[in-house]
Amino acid sequence: MDQISEVALPVEVGSEVPPLLLRRSALLSFLGVTFLWGFVDHGPYSLGLNATLFLFLFFIIAKREDRSLFSYSPPLFMVALSFSLYENPFFKMVCLPVVPLIFGFYLLGDGPDRWHVTAVVKRLCVAIFLPLTQLGKAILALVGLGSLLPSIRIPIFASIAKGLTSLLFLSLLVIIPLLSWADNDFAERIAWIQLFVAEYFMVLLPESIITRSIVFVVLDILVVATVLAWRGRSEESEEYVLTMTDSVAAGIVLAGVLLIYLVFLSVQAEHLFVAKLPTHFTEIVWYVKSGFWQLIALSVVNILIFVRYYQRTTPLVQKLLAGFTLASLLILLSAGHRMFLYVTTRGLSYEKFYASYAVLYCAVLFVILLWSLIQQRRTEALYVTVTLFVWMFGIVSLLPVEQIVLRTNISLYTSQRAKSEINLGDMTMLSSDVYGLVIKNRERLGLKDSFWNRWIDGAAGTLREKEWYEMNLSALIQKRHLE
């Protein structure tokens, strides 16, 4: 026994990974497979208080030790809080990939003085791909099971556990698959053994526990790898200097594009701000949807052009840039006007609400950038673009979008009832956020056909099936109206 004790020295496989991080990551993963498991069956309808708590804990775990938690981006906490306010399943699904990416982007940033195009692109790539490079380190850290505990009094146990875990990973992921491909008889026998072992464990453990255990391990690895990648990255030492561009080339580009826009505005002068939409539905769709998204795409291109040339050319070219920005704003307002007419004629929807919000974002951004040009202030255009997007993303997360959509359509429908083209039946795509409003107006608006009956039954079932940790403020309010 003495000889074994001398040989079995403790090996710190995850010595570079703080034990506190491993314990917090394990806790976060446990909460995920315990309270977020309903997402597998019910999707975004199972995200409420549990999702808010999960995101807050992730922010706390991933933040740098030398920075305050709220120094990164307060709108992200607004988005996390929104999970506990409304159902809004469409927006929740958008938030799942966007929120962690934005948090990683700010976590890796060095402040507004480093908002250079190259630095921003680099930070985005790092936020997305760097965690993949830390997967191996995370696995090795988690293999050293002793690091999950405050202390291990018998080092031999940690070594045995580490050896067995390493053998399991190596055998199942590398050796057995390669040997199975090399010999069919071996593949058949090992497949029979695997089936026997799987059935034996299925008898001992319920399938859900096995599945959750696998998801727990995968989630734990991903959290550790992500935190190691984002929090452990050293500050960049290089300084990005604002370089001037070729003013002649920039002037040609801006003057040419501005001329094209002026021609477009002159040709479209009669149709730029029309009083009403065309009569036929196909013409309405082409005029609003096709023209709208083309103009929105053009606005994005205009923003990129502005960022490229702002404060990088001579004063004369900067004046051309101001004219270019003003023309871009007029074209954008035309798109917004088309959408306004479309909403008042055909009603509001998810698509139209967020499309209108995109117009508002671009308009506010153009006004800020144009004002900076007029005032001749030094402004990081890319910093303004990204920061405004994040803040408006946070603000819209706190808006009761589905309530706004249905209330707007009810108001338009009742005010234009004799000649209304609004179909309230299209509102059956909304979630239980508007359950009480539907029940309240069911008699007055005649919402009694088969579509609405199925919607009411489905929304009521969703509200009743929610666990306490899946609840949100809207669901608590709507449950009072359950029939």
Query: Tokens 């405050």, residue?
Result: 150
Q: Is the predicted pLDDT of residue 368 greater than 80, yes or no?
A: yes
- Say what percent of the chain tops pLDDT 90: 10
Find, among 108, 111, 107, 173, the residue nearest to 139 by Cα.
173
**Greater pLDDT, 353 or 263:** 353
Averaged over 224-249, what is the pLDDT?
Answer: 65
Asked if residue 258 lies in contact with residue 323, where contact means CB atoms within 8 angstroms, the answer is: yes
Q: What is the pLDDT of residue 222?
A: 87
Distance CA 356, CA 334 (A): 12
CA 250/CA 318 separation, integer angstroms: 10
pTM of structure: 0.73
Query: What is the pLDDT, as a whole number, of residue 152?
Result: 43
Residue 37 has pLDDT above 50, yes or no: yes
The count of other CB atoms within 10 Å of the CB of residue 305 is 18
Cβ neighbours of 145 (radius 10 Å): 18
Q: Is the pLDDT of residue 227 over 80?
A: yes
Question: What is the rounded CA–CA span in Å between residue 72 and residue 79?
Answer: 14
Ramachandran assignment for 431, one of left (phi > 0), alpha (psi -120 to 50 degrees), beta (any other):
beta
Q: Is 86 left (phi over 0), alpha (psi -120 to 50) or beta?
A: beta
> Between these two residues, 324 and 454, which has the higher pLDDT value?
454
**Over the stretch 411-429, which tens digit does the pLDDT of each residue have?**
888 876 545 567 777 788 8
Render pLDDT for 303-326 as a digit per residue (tens, 0 to 9): 777 776 665 666 776 777 777 777
Euclidean distance between CA atoms 222 and 444, whole angstroms: 52
Range 106-117 average pLDDT:
62
State residue 472's pLDDT score: 93
Cβ(368)–Cβ(388) below 8 Å: yes
27 vs 448 pLDDT, higher one:
27
- The whole-number average pLDDT for the span 457-471 is 89
Q: Are 75 and 391 spatial neighbours (Cβ–Cβ below 8 Å)?
A: yes
CB count in 10 Å sphere of residue 92: 23
Averaged pLDDT for residues 139-151: 59
Q: 83: pLDDT confidence band, cut at 50, 70 and 90?
A: very high
- In this predicted structure, the answer to whether residue 147 has a pLDDT above a threshold of 50 is no
Q: Is the dihedral of CA 308, 311, 312, 315 positive or negative?
A: positive
pLDDT reported for residue 129: 80
Tens digits of residue pLDDT in 248-306: 777 777 777 778 777 776 766 665 555 565 555 566 665 665 556 666 677 777 777 77
pLDDT score of 156 more than 80: no
pLDDT in tens, 169-197: 667 667 777 777 766 777 777 777 666 66
Q: Which residues contact 295 (CB under 8 A, 6 or more apart)?
A: 331, 332, 334, 335
The mean per-residue pLDDT over the stretch 51-57 comes to 92
The Cα 221–Cα 169 span in angstroms is 14
Residue 153 predicted with pLDDT over 50: no
User: DSSP states of 140-199 as a string?
Assistant: HHHH-GGGGSS--S-HHHHHHHHHHHHHHHHIIIIIHHHHHHH-HHHHHHHHHHHHHHHH
* Amino acid letter, residue 355: A
Cβ-proximal residues to 325 (8 Å cutoff; 6+ apart), any chain = 302, 306, 366, 369, 370, 373
Using one digit for the tens of pLDDT, what is the confidence trace for 119-128?
677 777 777 7
pLDDT value, residue 337: 76
